Every structure is written in structure tokens, then in C-alpha cells.
Amino acid sequence: MGTNTFYNMSRWAAFWCKRALLRVVFRSFLLMSIILLSISIMVLSPNLYSVNEAHRPTTVSALVTGRQSINSTLHCAIQNGSLSTFARKYANHYTANDVDFLVAVDIIMKRKWQQNSAFSQVFRNDLRAALGDKGKLDRFILTRQNVRWGDKINFYRHKASARISRQLWQLLPKDTFFKPGIIQRCSVVGSSGILKGSQCGHSIDKADFVFRFNLADVKGYETDVGGKTNFTTLNPSLIMIKYSSLRRKEDRTRFAEALKQFKGSLLFLPAFAFKWRYQMLIQAASVAKKSVGLQPIFGHPDHYTSVANLWQKTINGTRWTTTGLHVLSSILDFCEQIDVYGFWPFPTTLDGRAVSYHYHNDINGTTSHSFGKEFRGLVYLHEQGIIKLHIGSC
């Protein structure tokens, strides 16, 4: 009985040893199979493991000089139209310290600029996808194609709305002036005092289409800023301060006189920002059209909101994007090449000279916009070969 018991116990122990050994062998085999399968997937499908890397901003110098293939960037074009996806892909990583940033800008501006057509197209596609239908080029301005007489339009700076009146309807163009790819070269001219003494007028006027802002004077400044104007904006604050909201006949006469230097231009008015400024801007548009022959155009509030939301996320800026960045973002499909002048948010030049807020007057700057952050965004686009930023003399 004792011998049988011992025999059975030995058989039982041997059985469990074999089972334990087989379990170890099986687990080792399974682990090796998983490792081999993972290696095979990585070798055969490397793009699956490079998505995160591809979404990082490509090295600036590589994009400009062509030392690195842009295929990875082309493959990661935005598919879902998400603002967050665009913001992650195109967020710049410049230092927030202005002194250090200006040292970097000095180095960047000394490099030879080269347009990167392939990456520019990727950026346009991504911008289009992120903005969606409301941010399309054909909705940049109100036209008789995208609104109807009697439609209710919401103001984007506060909760209010207005109907498309007969007076406004008669001022609207039948169709948009801005269609993809019809202009080869555009000059976008800001109003910074950095243009003083720049002698950029000739370069600016060589463009096929010239954008300006807030009725910045060109008469008397042609050497530095040029004289050609195809598009200028009008800030309602200018009418209120300089022309007393056009209440009197003499105010309207002075306003019409100031507009003569822009004869033949488009006059962009943000009529649907604040309701309490709406009627004043409709009157300004009527004066411009009847007295001088300018074509008034009205920004579509849905379009502005789409662009503003996009840049607020991308540059972590204020809610209200400047008109300059709004227009620049809107014309990337309209212009094949964009040269940018007179955008400079700092009190001194790169070599330390004082810079006034505007080249044509002595007003102080505003703090309602993220000028520094927006400028960093422009430098990023310059480095990528999407726009050409001009700083200093030409």
C-alpha cells in the first residue's frame, strides 16, 4: 500500500512538472509570435507608426531648402476638417520672449526665401478643410449669391441680428470678386511705421492686386508704400473719431475727399460686427459708391467667425483676429504668391530704431488683439515658403 501510494505520488508530480514546462514553452512561443508580428507590421507599414511624427511642424529650414522630402507632410493632410487638428499641425513653437524671438527673426530674414508650392497647396487644402463651408472663399463677402433680400444676419460681436434691407441689397455685388487662382501675385500692405524709409513702394505696386487696411493714406507716402490700391478696409472707429459718425454734411464731404486716393478700389466694411455701428457703415458705403465710385463690399460674419476661431486655437490668441490676418487667410486661394509688407508689432526695428504704430499718423496702438502672436504666425508661414514677409528696406 505504501509502495503504490509513493508510485502514484511520483506519477502525479511528474504530470504537474510536464504541465508547468509546457505552459512556459507555450507562453514563450506566444510572446515570440507577437514580437515577430509587430516587427513585420512596422516594416511593411511604417506610416502607421509615423503619424504623430508627421503631424509635428516640419523643420523650417528643411521646407525652405528642400533638404528633407515633404512627402510625409503631404500624406498627413487634414481629413476630418477639425480646427484642433489644424491647430496642432500648424502651431509654431517660437519663444514667447520678444528679445530672443527677434534674434531668431533676424536670422530667418537673412536667409534666401523660396516659395514652396507643394507645401503651400497642402496648407491651402488643410485650411479649407478646417474652415468648412462657412469659411469658403465665396463667403468671404456678402453677395446676392450667398444671401437673399430679407435674410436675417447675426452680428458676431454680440447677440443681435438684422435683416438684409433693400438699401443693403442694392449695395451688394451680384457675385464675389474673389475666385481661386485668378491672381498671380498680391501685395498685402499693413500700416506699421516700419514702412517709413523702406522704399518698398515700387515692389508693392508691381503686384497684380494690392490689399491695404483702414484707409491708410498712400498720397504723400508713395515711395515707401506705393500708390496702387485694389482693396482697402474701413474700421468703423475711424468714422466715429475722424468723421463724427458722418452725422453732418461736412463730415460726409470730408470723408468722400479722403476716399479719392482709393478711387476704383474695393472698400471692405465689417458691417455685421456691432449692430449699433451697422447703419453708420451702410451710410459710409453709400457715400463711397455715390461720391467717389468705390465698390463697397461687406464681410460675411460667418466667414470672419470661422477664421477667427481657427487662429484663436492655432496661435492661442485673442478671440478677435485682426482684419489683417483675416484677409490674409482668406486670399490664400485667390493669390498664387503673397508678399506681406508693413506688419510689425514691436516698438523698435531689428537694428534698434524706433517704430511708430502707423506710418501715416501718430496714434498709439491697441491691446485688443494678439499682435505678437499673430506676427509669429506670419513668420512661420514665411519660413514654410507660403508667404513672403518683408521687413525693413526693399
Question: Do the domain assignments include residue 294?
Answer: yes
Q: Which amino acid is at 150?
A: G
Question: Do the domain assignments include residue 160?
Answer: yes
From the CA atom positions of the chain, what is the Rg in Å?
30
Kind and range of the H or E run holding 154 = strand 152-154
| C-alpha–C-alpha distance, residues 32 and 212, integer Å | 66
40 shares a domain with 141? no
pLDDT per residue as tens, the chain (394 positions): 444 443 344 444 444 444 454 454 455 555 555 555 554 444 333 332 333 333 333 333 333 333 333 333 433 544 445 878 899 999 888 999 999 999 999 999 999 999 999 999 999 999 999 999 999 999 999 999 999 999 999 998 888 999 999 999 999 999 999 999 889 999 999 999 999 999 999 999 999 999 999 999 999 999 999 999 999 999 999 999 999 999 999 999 999 999 999 999 999 999 999 999 999 999 999 999 998 889 999 999 999 999 999 999 998 877 788 999 999 999 999 999 999 999 999 999 999 999 998 888 887 766 566 889 999 999 999 999 999 999 989 9
Question: Do the domain assignments include residue 177?
Answer: yes
Question: Do the domain assignments include residue 63?
Answer: no
Number of domains in the chain: 2
Let me know if 10 is exposed, middle or buried by CB neighbors in 10 A (0-12, 13-18, 19+): exposed
Question: Do the domain assignments include residue 121?
Answer: no
Q: For the domain that residue 237 is a member of, what is the CATH number?
A: 3.90.1480.20
Question: Do the domain assignments include residue 22?
Answer: yes
Question: Torsion angle of alpha carbons 153, 158, 160, 166, nearest 10°?
Answer: -40
149 shares a domain with 35? no
Question: Do the domain assignments include residue 98?
Answer: no
318 shares a domain with 188? yes
Question: Do the domain assignments include residue 114?
Answer: no
Note the pLDDT of residue 350: 93
Contacts of 117 (CB under 8 A, 6+ apart): 385
Q: Please report how the helices 323-330 and 301-315 are oriented relative to each other, as an axis angle in degrees rounded to 10.
A: 100
Query: In which domain, by residue range, is 288 found?
Result: 137-389
142 shares a domain with 33? no
Note the pLDDT of residue 83: 79
303 shares a domain with 190? yes
157 shares a domain with 304? yes
Q: What are the b/e assignments for 274-305, b being 16+ CB within 10 Å?
A: bbebbebbbbbbbbbeeebebbbbbbbbbbbb
